């Protein structure tokens, strides 16, 4: 059996190695930048460094997401001693200029420089994404140099499982998958279950269209997810874990697999983790394209190789879950918070955010905004700060109409509530939800009934068909919305729509059906005039 | 000619068998097994589904039930080229519908189907998670952002190396 890794030694060696290079060029190699052409710019950076003879003093590395995806490919140049410059839209020519500037020959055009002091960067508080865009996700040593697995080591060597559960409870961390269930309470349920075999599961089935927070964490800092899951297992007495990833994220699967193998070789996973009596094995499981599998009982069915049909709860998975054993499902972003809580303490964590929504939240900003990409902000920040300051407002002189959160299970927030605090309770009061973190901004040109129809079509396609209210109700709702949107609505359609929404919401089996009417209810509430004018047009046609 | 590695004479089965052996023919690996089968054969024919059912000792009805439940499994031969248009929320807001319509009309192919000449398969994808670059299309595995109807059609032509039509 291999000797356990000495984390401090590995970290020191890695930092020493990095310090050998006076210059480091970090290029974002995440999916968004790749589709903007990062592959070509990274190979140009590498070949240019060789061409100008600077291989000994400049190190080029590919990292994860730096956040400002709309301006990719992004590149950061770090000089020993602190100075850092960030560049945008780095194509081959700009890459040549960047290496030229490092070599002291010429400069990069101002249009390609990014000001790091814009609110998009300065208002962020990075906990979950602390290492994204900084480390090389494919190298364990790179992650360890930035603190990976030190929390696991601390938990195993200095804390009892109960103490870990108590720390998570005290931190006030709530589930980041959308519903906001207190994480510590869930952990103590699993810890209290008596069984020879318990499972912990990371839910990486990020199905909400417009959201890619979990993908970014899994791709850019896979060790953080694995470490969070291992701490969860230690605290609850589980010995096996699964990371369930949707098949649309092949890179996340590849990186997690590689990270698990590296961690196992270093005795951070497997038998006798870090030389202790704690055993923990992890496996990645791949979905096959079914939104409903984000629901925990459906996810369990899918890991077991069955159709992803949800089932009634209780019994809850903490009593009878995977293969009939006590199991716990935590969202990827939730787990990514765990190492920081264990390392820095519950008080540190609960000092971020609001009283009832502690910590930070990662949002995927998209839609009609100047700056789109990934941000991590403290809970309690106002929507206005996110949209206007960080997002840079709506482009082309258009007017903000609404922000949509929570995807097909959420609702929209119109302009009069721009100053609302972004936390679980406030968003729920407005008829939306925190959701997993998709935040889509829509300008004045967007038709809200069409947005409702879009989400209903999604839910209709994704309904698993097990229960009638969801299977038939989403079809009927979509039919009604389609009729209204195509100008063939009839008088009384809105009443019918509302009644049907109530029935589907009250009687569906799982969260998918129960929340499917939300986008309709929410747009009807705030933008009823749009529905009414469509009906009036139909009446006069 | 080199001797076939698999008694069926089709070496692709050898790849599938290797996976089955590696996962100890575990029944809970059904979805992974179907992924491997699809990767090797391109799509899941009835014969392949039956082969997987026998290998995992599962009723064929269950294998078909699982395979048809999930969106990513195909049951028909795929086109020479594939164009996936992301229809996630961000891409929807930015006009993905027009792209789907343009490819549908340009190649006479319905979303989810393959054109009659077997040239192009058109798919609509759930969010690909590149929302900052909406609308996004994927052509033969290459992701391209900030697309519109015209640029997508051009990309398909470029991918297939078809010169621009001369009028």
| Cα–Cα distance, A47 to A41 (Å, whole number) | 10
pLDDT at B164 over 60: no
Asked if B87 has any chain A CB less than 8 Å from its own CB, the reply is yes
Statement to judge: residues B23 and B53 lie in one domain: yes
**Do B65 and B85 belong to one domain?**
no
Looking at the structure, tell me whether residues A338 and A375 fall in a common domain: no
CATH, residue B108: 3.40.30.10
pLDDT for the residue numbered B89: 84
End-of-domain residue from the set A421, A443, A465 = A443
pLDDT of res. A37: 87
Structurally, how many domains does chain B consist of?
Answer: 2
Is residue A337 located within the same domain as residue A372? no
Contact list in A for residue B133 (CB cut-off 8 A) is 32, 35-36, 69-70, 72
Shared domain for A285 and A331, answered yes or no, is yes
If asked whether residues A229 and A340 sit together in one domain, one would say: yes
pLDDT at B167 over 80: no
Q: A133, A205, A217, A305: best mutation site toward chain B, by most B Cβ within 10 Å?
A: A305
Report the residue of A66, A88, A89, A210 to disrupt the B interface, i.e. the one with the largest count of B CBs within 10 Å.
A210
pLDDT at position B1 over 80: no
Q: Which of these three, B32, B48, B69, is where a domain ends? A: B69
- When pLDDT is cut at 50, 70 and 90, the band that residue B165 belongs to is very low
- Shared domain for A154 and A284, answered yes or no, is yes
Residues A279 and A197 in one domain: yes
Q: Report residue B3's pLDDT band, with 50, 70 and 90 as the boundaries.
A: low
A365 and A329 in one domain? no
Same domain for B49 and B108, yes or no, is no
Q: Of B139, B137, B157, nearest to B147 (Cα)?
A: B137
Q: What's the rounded Cα separation, in Å, for the pair A208 and B128?
A: 10
Contacts of B25 in chain A (CB under 8 A): none
Same-domain pairing of B47 and B105: no
Q: For the domain that residue A105 is a member of, what is the CATH number?
A: 3.40.30.10
Residue A304 has a CB neighbour count (10 Å cut-off) of 17
Q: Give residue A261's pLDDT.
A: 97
Whether B2 has a pLDDT exceeding 70, the answer reads no
Same domain, A244 and A97: no
Number of domains in chain A: 4
List chain A residues with pLDDT less than 50.
none
Measure the CA–CA gap between A30 and A39, rounded to whole angstroms: 10
Residues 6+ positions from A286 with CB-CB distance below 8 Å:
A244, A245, A246, A247, A253, B31, B32, B35
Domain boundary among B49, B69, B89: B69
Q: Are residues B99 and B50 in the same domain?
A: no
CA distance B126 to chain A (A): 6
- Asked if A247's CB is within 8 angstroms of B35's CB, the reply is yes
By residue range, what is the domain housing residue B29?
12-69
Which chain A residues in 105-164 lie under 8 Å from chain B, judged by CB atoms? Answer: none
Nearest neighbour of A70 by CB, restricted to B62, B129, B132: B132
Q: Is residue A140 assigned to a domain?
A: no
d(CA B167, nearest CA chain A) in Å: 32
pLDDT in tens, A348-386: 999 999 999 999 999 999 999 999 999 999 999 999 999
Nearest Cα residue to B90 out of A208, A503, A359, A316: A208
Range of the domain at A366: 360-443
pLDDT at B18 over 90: yes
Name the residue facing B71 among A206, A290, A303 (closest C-beta).
Answer: A290
Return the residue in B32, B36, B89 with the most chain A beta carbons within 10 A, the one to mutate for interface testing: B89
B31 and A404: CB-CB below 8 Å? Answer: no
What was the pLDDT predicted at A466?
A: 96
* Statement to judge: residues A434 and A452 lie in one domain: no
Q: Which residues of B touch A211 (CB under 8 A)?
A: 127, 129, 131
The nearest alpha carbon in chain B to A67 belongs to B132
The answer to whether residues A420 and A388 belong to one domain is: yes
Question: What is the predicted ipTM?
Answer: 0.90
With vertex at residue B136, the alpha carbon angle to CA A394 and CA A178, rounded to the nearest 5 degrees, is 70
Q: Which pLDDT score, from 0 to 100, does residue A469 have? A: 97
Q: Do residues A167 and A284 both lie within one domain?
A: yes
A chain contacts of residue B73, beta-carbon cutoff 8 Å:
288
Residues B65 and B129 in one domain: no
A89 assigned to some structural domain: yes
Angle at A75 between CA A74 and CA A81, to 5 degrees: 145
Interchain contact A392–B (C-beta under 8 A): no
Q: Does A373 touch chain B (CB under 8 A)?
A: yes
Does residue A132 sit within a domain?
no
* Neighbour order of strands in the sheet with A327-331: A281-286, A240-245, A199-204, A327-331
Q: Do residue A340 and residue A244 come from a single domain?
A: yes
Residue A128 lies in a domain: no
Question: What DSSP string runs through A522-540?
Answer: HHHHH-HHHHHHHHHHHHH
Instruction: Establish if B2 belongs to a structural domain.
Output: no
What long-range pairs does A343-349 form, CB within 8 A, spacing at least 24?
Answer: A343/A147, A343/A150, A343/A151, A343/A154, A345/A167, A346/A167, A346/A168, A346/A169, A346/A170, A346/A171, A346/A172, A347/A170, A349/A127, A349/A171, A349/A172, A349/A173
């Amino acid at each position: 059996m291999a000797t356990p890794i000495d984390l401090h030694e590995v970290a020191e060696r890695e930092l020493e190695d990095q310090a050998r290079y006076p210059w480091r060029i970090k290029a974002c190699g995440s999916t968004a930048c790749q589709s903007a052409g990062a592959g070509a710019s990274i190979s140009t950076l590498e070949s240019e460094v060789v061409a100008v003879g600077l291989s000994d003093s400049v190190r080029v590395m590919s990292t994860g997401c730096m956040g400002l995806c709309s301006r990719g490919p992004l590149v950061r140049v770090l000089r020993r001693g602190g100075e850092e410059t960030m560049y945008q839209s780095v194509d081959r020519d700009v890459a040549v200029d960047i290496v030229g500037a490092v070599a002291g020959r010429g400069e990069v055009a101002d249009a390609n420089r990014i000001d790091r002091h814009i609110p998009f960067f300065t208002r962020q508080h990075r906990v979950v994404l602390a290492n994204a865009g900084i480390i090389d996700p494919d190298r364990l040593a790179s992650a360890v140099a930035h603190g990976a697995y030190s929390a696991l080591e601390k938990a195993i060597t200095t804390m009892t499982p109960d103490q870990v559960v108590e720390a998570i409870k005290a931190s006030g961390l709530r589930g980041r998958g959308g519903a906001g269930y207190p994480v510590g309470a869930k952990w103590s349920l699993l810890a209290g279950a008596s069984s020879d075999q318990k499972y912990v599961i990371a839910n990486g089935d990020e199905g909400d269209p417009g959201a890619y927070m979990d993908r970014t964490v899994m791709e850019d800092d896979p060790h953080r997810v694995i470490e969070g899951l291992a701490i969860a297992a230690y605290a609850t007495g589980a010995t096996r874990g699964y990371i369930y990833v949707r098949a649309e994220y092949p890179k996340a699967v590849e990186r997690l697999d590689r990270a698990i193998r590296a961690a196992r070789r270093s005795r951070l996973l497997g038998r006798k983790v870090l030389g202790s009596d704690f055993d923990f094995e992890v496996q990645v499981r791949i979905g096959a394209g079914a939104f409903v599998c984000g629901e925990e009982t459906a996810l369990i069915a899918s890991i077991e190789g069955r159709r992803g049909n949800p089932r009634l709860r209780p019994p809850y998975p903490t009593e009878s879950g995977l293969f009939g054993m006590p199991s716990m499902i935590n969202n990827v972003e939730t787990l990514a918070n765990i190492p920081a809580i264990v390392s820095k303490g519950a008080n540190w964590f609960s000092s971020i955010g609001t009283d009832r929504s502690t910590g930070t939240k990662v949002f995927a900003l998209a839609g009609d905004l100047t700056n789109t990409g990934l941000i991590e902000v403290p809970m309690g920040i106002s929507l206005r700060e996110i949209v206007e300051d960080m997002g840079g407002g709506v482009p082309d002189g258009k007017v903000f109409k609404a922000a949509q959160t929570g995807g097909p299970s959420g609702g929209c927030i119109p302009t009069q509530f721009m100053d609302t605090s972004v936390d679980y309770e406030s968003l729920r009061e407005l008829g939306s939800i925190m959701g997993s973190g998709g935040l889509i901004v829509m300008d004045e040109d967007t038709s809200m009934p069409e947005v409702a129809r879009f989400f209903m079509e999604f839910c209709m396609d994704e309904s698993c068909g097990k229960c009638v209210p969801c299977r038939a109700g989403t079809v009927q709702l979509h039919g009604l919305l389609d009729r209204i949107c195509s100008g063939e609505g009839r008088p009384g359609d809105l009443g019918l729509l509302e009644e049907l929404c109530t029935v589907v919401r009250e009687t569906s089996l799982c969260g998918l059906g129960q929340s499917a009417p939300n986008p309709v209810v929410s747009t009807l509430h705030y933008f009823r005039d749009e529905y009414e004018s469509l009906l009036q047009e139909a009446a006069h046609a | 000619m080199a001797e076939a590695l698999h008694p069926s004479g089709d070496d692709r089965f050898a790849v599938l068998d290797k996976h089955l052996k590696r996962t100890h023919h575990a029944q809970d690996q059904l979805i992974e097994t179907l992924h491997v089968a699809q990767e090797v054969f391109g799509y899941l024919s009835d014969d392949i589904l039956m082969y997987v059912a026998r290998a995992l000792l599962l009723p064929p009805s269950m294998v078909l039930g699982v395979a048809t439940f999930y969106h990513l499994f195909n049951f028909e031969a795929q086109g020479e080229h594939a164009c996936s248009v992301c229809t996630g929320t961000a891409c929807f807001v930015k006009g993905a519908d027009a792209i789907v319509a343009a490819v549908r009309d340009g190649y006479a192919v319905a979303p989810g189907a393959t054109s009659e000449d077997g040239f192009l398969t058109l798919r609509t994808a759930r969010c690909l998670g590149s929302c900052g670059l909406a609308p996004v299309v994927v052509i033969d595995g290459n992701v391209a952002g900030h697309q519109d109807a015209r640029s997508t059609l051009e990309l398909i032509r470029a991918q297939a190396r078809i010169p621009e039509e001369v009028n």
